[in-house]
Amino acid sequence: MILRSLTLDFFRNYPHFEGTFSPGVNVIWGENAQGKTNLLEAMAYLSTASSHRARYDKELIQFGVDHAFVKGEVETRDRTFTLEARLSRGARRQLLSNGVKLKTAGELAGVLNTVLFCPEDLWLIREGAAVRRRFLDTCICQLRPRYAEALAEYRRLYEHKTRILRDWGEHPSLLDTLDEFNLRMAQTGALIIHYRAHFIRRLGEATPAIHRDFSGGREELELGYETVSTVTDPLAQPRAILEELLAHQQSHRRAELEARQCLSGPHKDDLVVLLDGLRARQFASQGQTRTAALSLKLASREIFFQETGEWPVLLLDDVLSELDGKRQEYVLKRITNGQIFITCCEEMELSRLGDARTFHIRGGALVE
């Protein structure tokens, strides 16, 4: 999978950008706050229709402007795709593939896959469960269009149910619709759990070997999936999971009404990381959690390759400078395949990774 070129209009601090990239290594360098991350964010947006750091699309539109445009030419499966995202402050965003409007973001899956790695990811293990759910969701959405659709639907239902629970005291008639929402949330929730369990199983197969290699054979990493307590087998068919989710909702109905919060469902899921049998989140050292986070990210890249036969585009945002020499060396050794974008503050010598193209960014523009 190769991102051949990228065009931006009014995206973040770029009034306009046009770049054509190397199929190998691309180094994007410049001083702080010049727009290096913004560029990777735009690339990732074309693969996931979401940003790793913006909650709303409108944050991506340049200040004082009412629309933004992102276009990428992608080579995959011996074909060329033109992906476009048109963002607007006043209207729904539009996503297009080869000029055809997409109905859902899920339809982007499989055209451009990216694995983004930024310094915050080094805290993937230490942070709360939300960060690990986001990691899982970003990966699975790119591999399974149906998952992306279920997740979007689940989020809509969750927000609606949260409003019902928040306001039912003042408007008791809202409770008339609660059962309907519960059923639909359990149906989409069952699908989400099924897909997450299968992805975590794959991750659980790929990550330990990388981590073992990385830690010089000293540590054993294991992964687990923590979901709704009534679910006995998250790998089971969604139909079986549905019944167990409904039972959990039923037993938490009263508590939800009292707490006025949605307490039942996969929105609380976690990916559990164990190092030598202990929960890494609580017991691992800073160095160990970094190594484990890197192993997870590198493993996800390998799963993309196994699934699609092509390496995803790797976006390394300022991450190498955060790593000590040994970890840097390990990552560089492991990423010799596929297209790579690396941002850094100084021009880097990366000739060992093959032909590298260099882009110097200043103030939201390419320095020619």
Residues lying near ligand ATP in the complex (CB under 6 A): 12-13, 30, 32-38, 59, 61-63, 318, 345
Chain centroid to CA 224: 19
- State which residue, 32 or 173, has the beta carbon closest to ligand ATP: 32
Shortest separation between residue 344's beta carbon and ligand ATP, angstroms: 8
Chain centroid to CA 236: 24
Shortest separation between residue 40's beta carbon and ligand ATP, angstroms: 8
Q: Kindly list the distances between the CA atom of residue 332 and the CA atoms of 40, 172, 215, in Å, as whole numbers in the listed order.
A: 19, 59, 15
Shortest separation between residue 12's beta carbon and ligand ATP, angstroms: 4
Q: Which residues contact 66 (CB under 8 A, 6 or more apart)?
A: 88, 89, 90
- State which residue, 35 or 110, has the beta carbon closest to ligand ATP: 35
Residue 341's beta-bridge partner residues?
26, 315
- State which residue, 63 or 172, has the beta carbon closest to ligand ATP: 63
- State which residue, 345 or 367, has the beta carbon closest to ligand ATP: 345
- State which residue, 30 or 312, has the beta carbon closest to ligand ATP: 30
Shortest separation between residue 65's beta carbon and ligand ATP, angstroms: 8
Shortest separation between residue 14's beta carbon and ligand ATP, angstroms: 8
Strand order in the sheet with 270-275: 221-226, 270-275, 278-279
Q: How far apart are CA 260 and CA 52, in angstroms?
A: 29
Could you tell me the sign of the dihedral formed by the alpha carbons of 103, 104, 107, 111, in that order? positive
Q: Count CA within 13 A, CB hemisphere, residue 169.
A: 8
CB 349 within 8 A of CB 355: no
- State which residue, 49 or 344, has the beta carbon closest to ligand ATP: 344
Shortest separation between residue 322's beta carbon and ligand ATP, angstroms: 11
- State which residue, 210 or 319, has the beta carbon closest to ligand ATP: 319
- State which residue, 65 or 130, has the beta carbon closest to ligand ATP: 65
Shortest separation between residue 166's beta carbon and ligand ATP, angstroms: 31
Q: Count CA within 13 A, CB hemisphere, residue 13.
A: 15
Shortest separation between residue 7's beta carbon and ligand ATP, angstroms: 17
Reported in sequence order, the residue ranges of the chain that DSSP labels E, i.e. its strands, are 2-11, 14-20, 25-29, 67-76, 79-88, 94-97, 100-101, 114-117, 221-226, 270-275, 278-279, 313-317, 340-344, 356-360
